[in-house]
Amino acid sequence: MKVEETKINGVKILTPSIHNDSRGSFFETFKSTVFSSYGLPNIFPQDNQVRSKHNVLRGLHYQLNQPQGKLVQVIVGSILDVAVDIRVGSPTFGKYHAEEISAKNKKIFYIPEGFAHGYVVISEFSIVLYKCTNVYDPEDEYGIKWDDPDLNIKWGISLPILNDKDDNLPYLQDQKCLPSY
């Protein structure tokens, strides 16, 4: 597995070693010993799977008391996945990294705890699978509006499909609860 650093400390792109033969292909998406050797978490107590249609935007979400690092992969379709550093005091506070991940490129995106996370579906539909470093607590859910002008995220879409909750999230500057660096 190839592990690439991004410009934001802790956010990583993982590209598995793919083994192809006449039957198809095989690759490891998670191996605790490999993850430990790269300083990545190796315990993920929750897995989630999400199916969405084209132009659906989910996020930007984060948890504060039970923060979730996320290991995201796409098993059908493609998404533009975004991690935003919201750790107060971080040298990259308010910066983001966006990465296209897809069933075709097989990249895996690691977003550490202390980051807001969201994605938009750029294929006809997608199935996204992600592991979390903590279990989800609905009482500990926060979010940032997807089109925050201070973040200026290049989503590649102007009219996403949103749920009411995501459409009414506050901007980063209006957040009252953020993690520390």
Please give the positions annotated as active site.
61, 130
Give the start-end residues of each E strand in 11-151: 12-15, 19-21, 24-26, 46-53, 57-63, 70-76, 78-85, 96-102, 108-111, 115-121, 125-132, 141-143
Rounded Cα gap, residues 153 and 119, in angstroms: 11
Task: Enumerate long-range contacts of 89-94, CB under 8 Å, 24 or more apart.
Answer: 89/180, 89/181, 90/114, 90/181, 92/7, 92/8, 92/9, 93/181, 94/150, 94/151, 94/172
Pairing of strands 115-121, 24-26: unpaired
**Comparing C-alpha atoms, which of 73, 52, 172 is closest to residue 132?**
73
Longest Cα pair distance anywhere in the chain, in angstroms? Answer: 55
